[in-house]
Amino acid sequence: QKEVEQNSGPLSVPEGAIASLNCTYSDRGSQSFFWYRQYSGKSPELIMFIYSNGDKEDGRFTAQLNKASQYVSLLIRDSQPSDSATYLCAVNPTSGKVIFGPGTSLSVIP
Amino acid sequence: EAGVAQSPRYKIIEKRQSVAFWCNPISGHATLYWYQQILGQGPKLLIQFQNNGVVDDSQLPKDRFSAERLKGVDSTLKIQPAKLEDSAVYLCASSLRPSTDTQYFGPGTRLTVL
């Protein structure tokens, strides 16, 4: 089992819809979870981080963490074409080394 | 606040040649990371420095890759000799503290090995 898994996509949603991106991880002791956005040809940039179970909201973005089920998700409300990018889930397991998932490609169709 | 600087931005070399990449982290950031990102994949950590000491280099192919961070600031990553499969984007990132902190990425160096 890979340490961090994501659906590779591409995930296509119409403009204005909710995009749901999911990530599962294998190390039950993982403590910190990050979502990065990467536009084509650019470097990753942080969108959100979450440490505690539950939801964390920041504008149109909501991160959801369920440690018991070992998954973290990112919801993007009112999706815009500018949200079209690859979304990387990163997890900080007990080893202390941040592990990135393979990324999910999101396409928001106008 | 200046971001993470990297150079060169692009490099094309023949296999078996050598290449070096340079990174200057955000001022005050003690932790520096080098990642390799192959097209269509997530970044893979090659080496992590805390100040000028190595924290993790478990995925660094040490027979051909080397890295140093002198004086705990700038860092260089070297490949010698390069192989075709080294073609990738090499990303440098820095953070205030290790692992639990947000990482700030530089623009990356796109390496093509012919």
In this predicted structure, what is the pLDDT of residue B20?
98
Q: With H, G, I as helix, E, B as strand and everything else as coil, classify residue B30.
A: coil
Q: Report the DSSP pairing between strands B10-13 and B109-113.
A: parallel
* B107/A34 touch (CB, cutoff 8 Å), yes or no: no
**Minimal CA separation from A110 to chain B, in Å:** 24
Residues of A in contact with B58 (CB under 8 A): 97
**pLDDT tens sequence across A11-68:** 999 999 999 999 999 999 898 999 999 999 999 999 999 998 999 999 999 999 999 9
Residue-wise pLDDT tens digits, B21-73: 999 999 999 999 999 999 989 999 999 999 889 989 999 999 999 999 988 89
pLDDT digits (tens, 9 = 90+) for B1-34: 689 999 999 999 999 999 999 999 999 999 999 9
Ramachandran class of A54: left when φ > 0, alpha when ψ lies in -120 to 50, beta otherwise: left
Answer whether A97 sits within 8 Å of B56, measured CB to CB: yes
Q: What is residue B63's three-state secondary structure?
A: coil
Question: Which of the four pLDDT bands, split at 50, 70 and 90, describes residue A92?
Answer: confident
Which of B91, B99, B105 has its CB closest to that of A92?
A: B99
Q: Choose between A32 and B98: higher pLDDT.
A: A32
Distance from CA of B56 to the nearest CA of A (A): 8
Query: Could you say which of A49, A98, A102 has the minimum Cβ distance to residue B45?
Result: A98
In 3-state terms, what secondary structure has residue B68? strand
